[in-house]
Amino acid sequence: MRKVTIFLGMLVLLCYTSCESKKHEKKDEAKYLVSSPILKDTSITKDYVCQIHSIRHIELRALEKGYLQHIYVDEGQYVKKGQHMFHIMPNVYQADLQKAKAEAEVAEIEYKNTQLLADGNVVSSNELAMAKAEFDRAKAEVSLAETHLGFTDIRAPFDGIMDHLEAREGSLLDEGELLTTLSDNSKMWVYFNVPEAEYLDYITSAKKDKKQEVELLMANNKKFNQPGIVETIEGEFNNETGNIAFRATFDNPDRILRHGETGSILMTVPLKNALLIPQKATFEVLDKKYVFVIDKDDKVSQREVKIGAELQHLFVVEKGLSKDDKVLLEGIRMVKNGEKIHYVFEKPDKILKSLDLYAE
């Protein structure tokens, strides 16, 4: 019985040793895919939060005091230039005009009579000049009264879409009281803020004389159907944010965009000699990106990298790697820092093609 027990023990030990040996062999035989970063001209699309404004957006206010007698338009209505919108009760201003016209007629008669007397040397030239001045003053009063009466009819100064009605028919209006706002949405001005470093890259680029085309990503995450052009840059930086405002202009033929909307501007920025690595080669520790680099002794070492931009399947590396480094692409979770590995090196160009990359 004792001999049987010893034999079984030796058999178990032999099996265990054999299994461990096979495990080590398999680990030693494992080969990992390795490649190098690649320098390549490409481009990235940057997005900036933006505010959308009508090319013309104004407030329509009452220029005279009085009762709002008629409203000829409705909220959200598209109006044409010169279209009648509001009418303020004109009775007082009509009376003022009639009074001014009557006084002007009297002044004209006085002037003509004085003219006849001056021609006969009955009155002096000074009296004639006084009569002429009084007649001119009376005509100016007529013109002023006509202007005030004209202010009781409020018409659209341009084609546009009106907003909320701030007053209703029968309301007593004060001079300058807000009636509504009017927006010309045929074109839109889109404002977005650009950091100082990116502004300097833009303003010193070779294509600075050519206007930059941009796209607009609307709030529903769909692109607007018209391209935009960056036309102006404001004169000063915001000291608090370190940004400067750019303005892009978009045609809006279908009146899809309206004043006050938000969205994101998409701007394509070229990158010269960008250092690219596959995203799958990186891993994250406490919000920092790392890669495994293989040294001359085939040992892997963990190295932090700074990512400058993100492309489809790729990262643009700003700091931490060079084009001659060898980077582990697969099996990141299977190796340990300082471990010696067996690997297969794949050319960067072949790796890029397999990632379905679009680069220029």
Return the CATH class of domain 184-270: mainly beta
The DSSP secondary structure of 148-196, one letter per residue, reads HHHTTEEE-SSSEEE----S-TTPEEPTT-EEEEEEEEEEEEEEEEEEH
Model pLDDT for residues 130-185, shown as the tens digit of each residue = 888 988 998 898 888 888 888 889 999 999 999 999 999 989 989 899 999 999 99
Which CATH code fits 64-175?
A: 1.10.287.470
CATH number of 32-45+273-357: 2.40.420.20
Strand partners, 143: none
The pLDDT tens digits for 25-36 are 444 567 889 899
Task: Classify residue 251 by burial, with Cβ atoms within 10 Å: 0-12, 13-18, 19+.
Answer: middle
Enclosing H/E stretch for 294 = strand 288-294
- Backbone φ and ψ for 27, nearest 5 degrees, come out as -65, -40
Give the span between the Cα atoms of 19 and 36, in whole angstroms. 36
The answer to whether the predicted template modeling score (pTM) of the entire model surpasses 0.85 is: no
User: Would you say 177 and 61 are in contact if contact means Cβ atoms under 8 Å apart?
Assistant: yes
CATH 2.40.420.20 placement within the chain: 32-45+273-357
Q: Which residue ranges of the chain lie beneath pLDDT 70?
A: 1-29, 206-209, 356-360
In degrees and rounded to multiples of 5, residue 100 shows phi and psi of -65, -40
Residue intervals of the chain classified under CATH 2.40.30.170 are: 184-270
How many other C-beta atoms can be found within 10 angstroms of the C-beta atom of residue 191?
17
